[in-house]
Chains A and B, each alone.
Chain A
């Protein structure tokens, strides 16, 4: 079954002002396969998907579905041709019921028979083992279930090609497994699935084939089992593998023995239980734990991002009061928020404006940074962090995720912080940029900056941190350093097994 070509995209070109986003890219999807589409940010994955779903018009090339040439001008065209997409951000309406979300926008006639839709929706949910009730309000379901409802909708629309764009980035392990089971079921029913993700392990867990793009060009199509993970990474970033090992292993990292920069006793906030914490100058430490373990809430308390409810804080041995972000900033603390879309970038403002934002706040609104100064700063950091942007005046919203992250990082670096908190700085960004950010963190530490690093990927934290604070159920349950810094030990501590 897997040899029958379902979707063929040939020589796809897409030009944006000043950039050739896709250059003669080919992509082939067969019936009943899960096909991972891989590449760094800016490689052209999103552009290719958007061409296929009718969000963008291609400038050249052909698309055929089951051998018939089709032209796609709108998301509706794509759906009518059996191509459905489930995006990372849920594109359903939380205020409607699950059943309505599955049928709205494609009913016949003016009247709605709620009972009928609920019955039909219930059957599909049951068949796909999706744990939701048809009559339930969608907003009451977990994100994973909402995503599955979106898939159920696509399935009911008799989709032949299902595109899953970063479906797992906000799901926990259990939910990911549920999703994978659903994907395999659909695959068995002959649906061709295009799976876009940044998680390499997930690619190896479910996909049959991998297509790699780089800089808008096709690198190649491979059978998953024939492509070792290291080679995949090499193909994606187009760099030597040695760089991956450049960072050194955890055992070599010594805990900083300089003086303590920040110390909190019994710090608590509206969202974080009281905890003790300290960090030395030039130290990189990390908070780890499962989603919801309180790791982000704790660092938010340090920065004063949530309402601080108690505790004493000392910086350089002196008592200070940090209840608002501006207090933290004045004390040399910078914080890169977890959700860059919500807490970080201002999409409509230019790269330059976004970069100088924090510095401007620190200086006060009545001491403007001159235009030429701002331009110089922006250029300096665009170069230093290798931010890929058309110009410093480009709106940040049009940059890729990794580059947006770099812009926020530049914003904080410009304030020359003594202590930088990075909450999931590498989420949803490509391998190459991840490495750059990790290296940057280590370099900052060498220069005496203290860094707290949070990441869902334990491996990444092991590479950068010399001390790991492990949280479970909103409590600190352990602190690992030295020889204890290894994957097994971290997992054990998170899971609660006594070492």
Chain B
């Protein structure tokens, strides 16, 4: 090894490599859609629609990425999102105010995170079991609150919900000659903010690096003087909190609560993280990758629908295929890498 190479750029880490692959595939896929399917794909609004529809998925995926980097799992996020939506809708309809509803959302998310984190870190129960229990519990609670769909009647909230950020530069002129600016919902801003904050947290904050360490090798992390239990606890608290935020964003998007809201969201979030280069074994992952993972997943679903395959099962089948493809690709790339290192 040459000492003089100290200034040379380091080769990409595993996480960076996997993320780069995802970004490239996302761009290629999008370009292909633009070329062959045209239609909506030619307008920037398509991207904003994807963001508008998936802001809450992006948020829970960020939480899942954190937990997965710490070699854990949290499958309660979809159910907690749903519970938050229903609770907030009922609270607002019962005469609550906006500020209170935000606190309620954060509080519910935090409570789930704290309980999960405590059971997993301090009582050392398997994260899968704990968050599975949390998932059933949250789903059950949602149904108890209301079996029927509930629409938000609160006026202040309706105003908040309808806030759209209009970007004229990315707009287009419709067939009837009216100019339509690109529209982005408030929830997207929240989601992008979450991505940025979590990115900084994971890269430049001690807590974030400690999460990587416990995911890389828990025993080593302990020997290196990291408070493994507390770190793991906090990772679940963050995931819970993000589920709360996700719930609020979800409500801002749909404006209604329904017991089946966000069904299967946890699985989409896991898929997004994995496609973005997070390894289930822990220690490797990147929240930017997760963001692009979500976008990739969404794009493929859009492509499926635009190709005329409207039946809902086609989306599931392609998602399954995608996930399989990415996992295979990752394992091939990582294997090749570890061989070339030798």
Nearest CB to that of B9 among chain A residues? A135
Contact residues of A between 97 and 127, Cβ < 8 Å to B = 97, 100-101, 104-107, 109-112, 114, 122, 126
Q: Give the residues in chain B near A137, CB-CB below 8 Å.
A: 10, 13-14
Given contacts A91-B219, A140-B341, contact A133 B206 (CB under 8 A): no
Cβ of A369 < 8 Å from any Cβ of B?
no
Flag if B225 contacts A96 (CB, 8 Å).
no
Flag if A95 contacts B219 (CB, 8 Å).
no
Q: Give the residues in chain A near B5, CB-CB below 8 Å.
A: 133
Cβ of B332 < 8 Å from any Cβ of A?
no
Complex Cα gap A212–B221 (Å): 32
A-B contact count (CB 8 A): 87
Complex Cα gap A132–B3 (Å): 8
Cβ of B192 < 8 Å from any Cβ of A?
no
Question: Size class of B's contact patch?
Answer: 20 to 34
Shortest beta-carbon distance from B307 to chain A in Å: 39
| A93 touches which of B6, B204, B220, B225 (Cβ 8 Å) | B220
Given contacts A95-B283, A111-B205, A133-B10, contact A104 B226 (CB under 8 A): yes
Flag if A110 contacts B221 (CB, 8 Å).
no
Cβ of B244 < 8 Å from any Cβ of A?
no
Given contacts A109-B206, A110-B207, contact A94 B216 (CB under 8 A): yes
Shortest beta-carbon distance from A73 to chain B in Å: 14
Interface of chain B, main secondary structure: helix
Q: Give the residues in chain A near B207, CB-CB below 8 Å.
A: 110
Contact residues of B between 66 and 98, Cβ < 8 Å to A = none
Flag if B10 contacts A136 (CB, 8 Å).
yes
Cβ of A131 < 8 Å from any Cβ of B?
yes
Q: Give the residues in chain A near B13, CB-CB below 8 Å.
A: 95, 137
Contact residues of B between 1 and 39, Cβ < 8 Å to A = 1, 3, 5-6, 10, 13-14
Complex Cα gap A79–B223 (Å): 10
Cβ of B144 < 8 Å from any Cβ of A?
no
Cβ of A92 < 8 Å from any Cβ of B?
yes
Cβ of A75 < 8 Å from any Cβ of B?
yes
| A75 touches which of B10, B212, B215, B223 (Cβ 8 Å) | B223
Complex Cα gap A310–B1 (Å): 37
Nearest CB to that of B227 among chain A residues? A105
Interface centre among B205, B213, B215, B222 (most CB of A within 10 A): B213
| B212 touches which of A79, A90, A93, A134 (Cβ 8 Å) | A93
Flag if A133 contacts B209 (CB, 8 Å).
no
Complex Cα gap A239–B217 (Å): 42
Given contacts A105-B221, A106-B225, contact A96 B209 (CB under 8 A): yes
Complex Cα gap A111–B215 (Å): 20
Interface centre among A76, A79, A112, A114 (most CB of B within 10 A): A112
Complex Cα gap A246–B293 (Å): 67
Cβ of B123 < 8 Å from any Cβ of A?
no
Cβ of B210 < 8 Å from any Cβ of A?
yes
Given contacts A104-B226, A105-B226, A132-B1, contact A93 B206 (CB under 8 A): no
Q: Give the residues in chain A near B341, CB-CB below 8 Å.
A: 140
Q: Give the residues in chain B near A100, CB-CB below 8 Å.
A: 209, 213
Q: Give the residues in chain A near B174, CB-CB below 8 Å.
A: none
Complex Cα gap A223–B283 (Å): 46
| B224 touches which of A97, A101, A132 (Cβ 8 Å) | A101
Complex Cα gap A114–B203 (Å): 9
Q: Give the residues in chain B near A109, CB-CB below 8 Å.
A: 206
Flag if A105 contacts B1 (CB, 8 Å).
no
Residue numbers of A with Cβ under 8 A of B are 75-76, 79, 87, 90-97, 100-101, 104-107, 109-112, 114, 122, 126, 131-137, 140, 153
Residue numbers of B with Cβ under 8 A of A are 1, 3, 5-6, 10, 13-14, 204-207, 209-210, 212-213, 215-217, 219-226, 283-284, 341
25 intermolecular pairs with C-beta atoms under 8 Å apart: A79-B225, A87-B223, A91-B223, A93-B212, A93-B213, A94-B216, A95-B13, A95-B14, A95-B217, A104-B213, A104-B221, A107-B206, A109-B206, A111-B204, A111-B206, A112-B205, A112-B206, A122-B6, A131-B1, A131-B3, A133-B1, A133-B6, A134-B6, A135-B6, A136-B10
